[in-house]
Amino acid sequence: MPLLTQISNIFSKKQSDQLVGISLQQESITLCSLPSLKTTTSPESGETQGAKFQQLNVQQLNYSAAIIESQADGGLAGKCHIVLNGQQSQIVQVDKPSVPAAEINGALKWQIKDLVSISPDNMVLDYFDGPLLAGGKEKINVVCSPINELKKIVTAANQENMDVVSITIAEFAFANLLPIQKDACLLVCQQPNEEIVLLIIKQGKLYFQRRLHGFSQIASKTEDELTMAVIDNLALEIQRSSDYFERQLKQAAIKDIKVLLPMASESFFARKLSENSHIPVSLLALPEAYQAHREYASAIGATMVDDRITEQSQELINVS
């Protein structure tokens, strides 16, 4: 599910078989360098041979400097996929403009200018279709970012042996981690010190997304603290999201909930959340070789975009 493809087309310069995922977060960047998600894993360690993981602190939101620092040892090369955080991208849902497809992006800049904090002159955007609401109204979800900041980030990534081929948001990076399945699944996902995102995915399509606030520090909570307040509050948000999906979007009930919260009490959290829900809850599995690197999930998911496109194409072939 590539997003903001226009940006990558502007800056793309070359191709390589290597995969690099860079997730930009509030106070750090996380990077993964993967030979290929199909590469044979080492029988001794269970790790994919040649895979590298790195986390760097960001000073004063200077992401380009952190990216340049990550390239200091010359170990990063290949197709680069960048994940923007919630401070670098804004999402709004609006009515789909009644204009030809080639003119939609231009029309959206002015349609959303009062809904976001980015000036139309400094805005780059892309959109993905929203589900049809009750009453037949067609909506689209618009993702926008400031192009002056993106230019700095992409220029830094392209300095050495990397080539930025896609720029996405955490919602799509997380969605790539879920195999395409018939029934709807709700994902509860987070990266360290970031806010939680709720996603509802059905047949590989993102039907619902919501960025929650107030949960960024749950990894520091004790099990008692999680039980007394956090899990109940999150269960309420999940119920509201499920109700919207079923009642407003007229969709069949969600069949399961998957959790990806890279913290020591993740399994405890999932178990307690299950006690607060009538829907089965389990941990979201990463590709087998990377299960021990759940704090890099969004960077890993960003590199899986080509695999997801292939998987979706195969589903279409099977249906036809």
Q: How confident is the chain (320 residues) per 10-residue block, as mean pLDDT?
A: 48 64 92 70 52 90 91 82 91 89 90 93 89 70 93 90 91 94 95 93 92 91 91 94 90 94 94 92 92 94 72 40
135-194 residue pLDDT tens: 667 888 999 999 999 999 999 999 878 899 999 999 999 999 999 999 999 999 999 889
Both 219 and 95 in a single domain? no
Both 20 and 139 in a single domain? yes
Q: Write out the residue range of the structural domain in which residue 245 sits.
A: 178-285
254-280 residue pLDDT tens: 999 999 999 999 999 999 999 988 899
Both 27 and 111 in a single domain? yes
- Would you state the pLDDT for residue 308? 52
CATH number at residue 96: 3.30.420.380
Both 153 and 216 in a single domain? no
Both 142 and 237 in a single domain? no
Both 114 and 205 in a single domain? no
Both 201 and 171 in a single domain? no
Both 144 and 271 in a single domain? no
Both 147 and 3 in a single domain? yes
Both 219 and 280 in a single domain? yes
- Would you state the pLDDT for residue 248? 85
- Would you state the pLDDT for residue 37? 53
- The distance in angstroms from the start CA to the end CA of the chain is 21
